Structure 1
Amino acid sequence: MSRSRPARVIGATVGALVILSVGVYGPATLLGPLPEATATLVTPAAGESVPFPPALPATGGSAVIGLATVTPDPAFPETTALDADALATTLPLAVAGTAEPLPMAAATKIVTALVVLDAKPLTLGETGPQIPITAADYQDYIDYGNSGARTVVVFPGELWTETELLQAMILGSSNNHADTLARWAFGSLDAYSAAANAWLGKQGLDGTRVADATGLNDESVGTATDLARLAGLAAADPVIGAILSQPASALVGQRGVDNTTAFLAEEGVTGITRSYTDGAGVCFLFTGQVQGPDSTYTFAGALLGEPDYDTLTSDVTALMESARAGVRELPTLAQGDAYVEFSTPWGAEASGTVRTATTTYGWQAQAPGDAEVILETVSTGRAGKTVGRVTVETGGTEVTSTLVLDRTISAPGLGWRLLHPVPMISALIAADR
């Protein structure tokens, strides 16, 4: 009797362990969560869309940046929108020539306009305060005129509104009006330069620096990429946009202002500033538009250091020809394209595919960028279940679509659960974390 007691104790212990194991193992494998499917990112076959880069000159410095694609609302056919907030981080569609800062001539006056409007804002349609023409302002008019620089006539004691000063500076490229605005808004030209350079830094235009309000000083320099962004900022400003689109025929005392910005409007170009100095050559900031069947694509550009106006005409014409060839409906995400493959430990497989085809009207200057894929956890699911999303960039625009399973991932049978304890227990532990 005494010798059999240890055996009975051992037997009871083993039996209890077996019962306990079955009681824990069975529910853990039969009722516990399934292991996650392994996700492998894949790249779909390239589509038929061929990049068509902007035609830019090799000399000087030039850049083109996409601004917006606008599909007009039938109720508001004149409505447009430019995404000015994104300009600081938007990659250019193309850059050519030197990437170094170059003298920027009257493009400096666009900095002056934006910085003054930042300090002394106007609402659209508002003329702003009346500003007296001082003796210093009149002397600027005399001095700049004697040197052959562009001016618009003023007389001491006259009153010009802020809008009128801006019109004379932007449309007429008046150097004396640039200095008048800078002194009025900041007290002195030195104070203006300090404020303008601080403003440029806040806009992320780190390759641009001003030494004056006019651009006659060759130390006022900018990179082509910065100045393309500057053109976009100017086009997006409602006050500057109104001055460019509805130029005044006359200002104080019926003094007309020649519009120096207008250039190749028949090509879809809106000039923002066009100027020449010996040190800078011909400089041109502008926006271009390509009209599609249902949408309008707008881009901003800068050409610096052009040798003459005939060359500028040829280069801008070539650019617009390339725009009309390159701007089109882009098949960005094709329905059914797979961006992820799922495989399970029990052998089930499926793909995460684009649910809805998406297109964008834009300029595919380069091949589409790498896809960004964000996935949800997948173990099982019916065909059509949402498993994530994919985002690609093309033509300066990001496009996103939902990813769905192309076929059902079914759960494994009971036998597989019981015979594969390691993945089942691992899944249970992971679910408890």
Structure 2
Amino acid sequence: MSRFRPGRVIGISVGTLVILTIGVYGPATLLGPLPHATVALTVPDASVTASTPVLPAAGTSGILAVTPVDATGESATADTAAAGTRTETLGVDPIAVGGGSAPLPMASAAKIITALVVLDAKPLEAGEPGPAYSLVTADYQDYLDYTAEDARTVIVFPGESWTEREMLQAMILGSSNNHADTLARWAFGSVDAYLTAANAWLAANGMADTTVVDANGLQDGSAGTGADLARIAALAATNPVIADIIKQPASALVGQRGVNNTTAYLPEEGITGVSRSYTDAGGVCFLFTATVVAGEKTFTFAGAFLGEPDYDTLTADLTALMASARAGVTELPVLAEGDGYATLTTAWGDSAGAVVGTPKTRFGWQAAAPSNAEVTLDDVTTGRAGAKIGRVTVDAFGESVSSTLELDSTLTDPGPGWRLLHPIPVISALVNSW
């Protein structure tokens, strides 16, 4: 008769456990996958240019990039830009703003808004005259009224015919207040209907801080910020019709009436005026574009100065701005080599940075540090320094720029000792791999 032997049962159990441990635990820990390194995102120090834009402390002002680009998306060279084989792209955010943030009376800058809104409703090809309009009594009365108020006008007579281009030329180059009203009525039926359309257009184009209450800017209620009006200057400079009118010499209009160009100012500084005017409430208001040539590349920006006290101050402020532009426009680091966007740490204590492997630059003037970094990383356990493990993409100068991320130091295998002494993370990694 057999007897139950507890010692034998225990011995068999222990032996079985030892066999299982050696046969399963050992291979599982020694040969199984390692746990992935944990990831902590980091933000590199911002790279800044040596010269920031110099803008007036008074009034309100702003500048916005208007950068020539070729078909590949790279900055165009000066020769390419001069040949006209380029498109224009506007910056998303201002390069810089100055003065206060409250809207100020914009004077004749309102006429540039009128031109843009009218051309949006009544498109015209550059150099083409466009449809003709026979002036009516209201148009002539505007001329008489504005002349009596000593406001800028270009003479008209009832019944004479003006083309769309001629009306735009009189308003933009001659700063004709009567032609601003005439264009508004011609395109929209009435000045009030134009104002409704214009304010809707401003809102739709992201200029919520700018409002017009007339077509010519004589009323103080037509007001805006430097940031908004810099965008207006950029839109005007990149509109083929307006740009063509501004760059052409003032020519004779209807009835041999010449128009003097009121927009030009400091061309020797690389500045092209878009609108220049003065009112008692608004002071000197100036919309413009400016160009800086650095080597074989050209950088163009648009600007707006509102509330300048006088022309001497405007001259000094523009000269200071252009000096800072010539010093600040350069190849700017967007993704600098070695910039870290993440830190990887292993369960056994090794750590390494995920750093930019291939630097990326953009030609321009620094507005702000690249933003909205999007980091995508592979699952990493071990790896040698320099191994590519992912990508980083940032928003810079209105476009997405990306580069590879690589390890800045080696993540080593912890060895069999660590594996055997840390079964939980090793077994967990094995289970997660199934």
State the TM bucket, normalised to the shorter chain.
Answer: 0.7 to 0.9
| Structure 1 residues 119 and 342: alpha-carbon distance in aligned structure 2, compared to 1, 3 A threshold | same
Q: Percent identity?
A: 60
5+ unaligned residues in a row in structure 1: which ranges?
none
* Cross-structure match for 1:53: 52
* Cross-structure match for 2:61: 62
Equivalent position to 1:78, from 84, 89, 99? 84
Distance in 1 (CA, whole Å) between partners of 2:27 and 2:21 is 10
Distance in 1 (CA, whole Å) between partners of 2:111 and 2:298 is 28
Q: Secondary structure, in 3 states, of the residue corresponding to 1:110?
A: helix
Judge which range, 242-251 or 3-12, deviates more.
3-12
* Cross-structure match for 2:328: 326
* Matched AA of 1:161: T
1:292 CA displacement? 0.3
Matches for 1:252-267 after TM superposition, within 5 Å: 252-267=254-269
| Structure 1 residues 75 and 56: alpha-carbon distance in aligned structure 2, compared to 1, 3 A threshold | closer
* Matched AA of 1:362: G
With normalisation by structure 1, the TM-score equals 0.87
Distance in 2 (CA, whole Å) between partners of 1:407 and 1:264 is 54
* Matched AA of 2:178: N
Equivalent position to 2:388, from 386, 389, 399? 386
> Residues 320-352 of structure 1, C-alpha deviation per residue, up to 9 Å, x if partnerless?
112112222334444344443333223444332
Matches for 1:194-233 after TM superposition, within 5 Å: 194-233=196-235
> Residues 17-60 of structure 1, C-alpha deviation per residue, up to 9 Å, x if partnerless?
7666766645643454321213344566777x654222222221
Distance in 2 (CA, whole Å) between partners of 1:134 and 1:321 is 49
| Residue 188 (1) aligns with residue 190 (2) | yes
| Structure 1 residues 419 and 312: alpha-carbon distance in aligned structure 2, compared to 1, 3 A threshold | same
* Cross-structure match for 2:283: 281
Matches for 1:14-413 after TM superposition, within 5 Å: 25=25, 28-41=28-41, 51-68=50-67, 70-72=75-77, 77-84=83-90, 86-87=91-92, 90=93, 92-364=94-366, 368=369, 372=373, 374-376=375-377, 377-390=379-392, 399-413=401-415
Distance in 2 (CA, whole Å) between partners of 1:265 and 1:342 is 54
* Matched AA of 1:416: W
Judge which range, 308-317 or 181-190, deviates more.
308-317
| Structure 1 residues 209 and 371: alpha-carbon distance in aligned structure 2, compared to 1, 3 A threshold | closer
Distance in 2 (CA, whole Å) between partners of 1:3 and 1:212 is 112
1:313 CA displacement? 1.5
**Residues 329 and 365 in structure 2, CA contact (< 8 A), matched pair in contact too:** yes
Q: Secondary structure, in 3 states, of the residue corresponding to 1:423?
A: helix
> Residues 140-179 of structure 1, C-alpha deviation per residue, up to 9 Å, x if partnerless?
1121112111111222222222222111111111111111
* Cross-structure match for 2:429: 427
1:134 CA displacement? 1.8
| Structure 1 residues 383 and 224: alpha-carbon distance in aligned structure 2, compared to 1, 3 A threshold | same
Q: Secondary structure, in 3 states, of the residue corresponding to 1:82?
A: strand
**Residues 93 and 395 in structure 1, CA contact (< 8 A), matched pair in contact too:** no
Q: Secondary structure, in 3 states, of the residue corresponding to 1:68?
A: strand
Q: Secondary structure, in 3 states, of the residue corresponding to 2:88?
A: coil
* Matched AA of 1:113: A
**Residues 66 and 396 in structure 1, CA contact (< 8 A), matched pair in contact too:** no
Distance in 1 (CA, whole Å) between partners of 2:121 and 2:8 is 95
Q: Secondary structure, in 3 states, of the residue corresponding to 2:169?
A: helix
**Residues 341 and 375 in structure 2, CA contact (< 8 A), matched pair in contact too:** no
Q: Secondary structure, in 3 states, of the residue corresponding to 1:287?
A: strand
Q: Secondary structure, in 3 states, of the residue corresponding to 1:321?
A: helix
Distance in 1 (CA, whole Å) between partners of 2:348 and 2:5 is 46
Counting matched residue pairs gives: 426
**Residues 64 and 95 in structure 2, CA contact (< 8 A), matched pair in contact too:** yes
* Matched AA of 1:83: T
> Residues 219-261 of structure 1, C-alpha deviation per residue, up to 9 Å, x if partnerless?
1111111111211222222222222222442222332211111
* Matched AA of 1:197: N
5+ unaligned residues in a row in structure 2: which ranges?
69-74
**Residues 73 and 79 in structure 1, CA contact (< 8 A), matched pair in contact too:** no
* Matched AA of 1:296: T
Q: Secondary structure, in 3 states, of the residue corresponding to 1:249?
A: coil
* Matched AA of 1:71: A
**Residues 363 and 396 in structure 1, CA contact (< 8 A), matched pair in contact too:** no
With normalisation by structure 2, the TM-score equals 0.87
Distance in 2 (CA, whole Å) between partners of 1:295 and 1:50 is 17
Distance in 2 (CA, whole Å) between partners of 1:179 and 1:288 is 29
**Residues 154 and 174 in structure 2, CA contact (< 8 A), matched pair in contact too:** yes
Q: Secondary structure, in 3 states, of the residue corresponding to 2:159?
A: coil
Distance in 1 (CA, whole Å) between partners of 2:53 and 2:398 is 13
| Structure 1 residues 130 and 15: alpha-carbon distance in aligned structure 2, compared to 1, 3 A threshold | farther
> Residues 61-120 of structure 1, C-alpha deviation per residue, up to 9 Å, x if partnerless?
112223326322866743344323x53xx1x23222221011111111111111111112
Judge which range, 388-397 or 159-168, deviates more.
388-397
* Cross-structure match for 2:72: none
Q: Secondary structure, in 3 states, of the residue corresponding to 2:252?
A: coil
Judge which range, 50-59 or 262-271, deviates more.
50-59
Distance in 1 (CA, whole Å) between partners of 2:188 and 2:23 is 83
Judge which range, 318-327 or 19-28, deviates more.
19-28
Distance in 2 (CA, whole Å) between partners of 1:430 and 1:211 is 66
**Residues 371 and 396 in structure 2, CA contact (< 8 A), matched pair in contact too:** no
